Amino acid sequence: MADNADLLALLAEMKKSMEKGQEEMKDRMEKGQEEMRKGQEEMRKGQEEMKNQIQSHVESKVGEIKDHVNSCIEKIEEDVQSVKREIGEVKGEVERKIEEVEDKVQGKIEEVEDKVQGKIEEVKEKVQVKIGDLEKRLSELEDRPINFPANPDLTYSRPTVKSLI
């Protein structure tokens, strides 16, 4: 029976040792799970921190881009205003030049009209002088004696000339 008792004692000791080993294993597993939880929590915190840093960086870059875009828009608006001013100046200058040319053309038209009117008067005077000369000559011819017999087929009546004035 001593063998049995030894065996039982050995079994009891083995059981105790196994229970102790299981307890240690259980403790280690719990510690490992706790460490895993802590590690996961640290990872979550790290991810959250990284997410916040990325978001902050993105917001910063977006702000810089917005500022740059706004400054570009302001520059473009200034350029547009400048071009509008230049267009207004050029338009005013073109209108002044058009008025200038119209005035010059009107002056030339009046000058040409005056010259043409003067020439018309000159020509009228010359025509009147020529008519006067022709009438005088015709009168002289009529007053001259004719030395040959009058042929009724060759005679004509004197036309009347009207004055142009």
Domain boundaries, the chain: 11-105
Q: What is the DSSP letter of 113?
A: H
User: pLDDT tens digits for the chain (165 residues)?
Assistant: 568 788 888 888 888 888 888 999 999 999 999 999 999 999 999 999 999 999 999 999 999 999 999 999 999 999 999 999 999 999 999 999 999 999 999 999 999 999 999 999 999 999 999 999 888 888 888 776 666 555 656 555 555 666 665
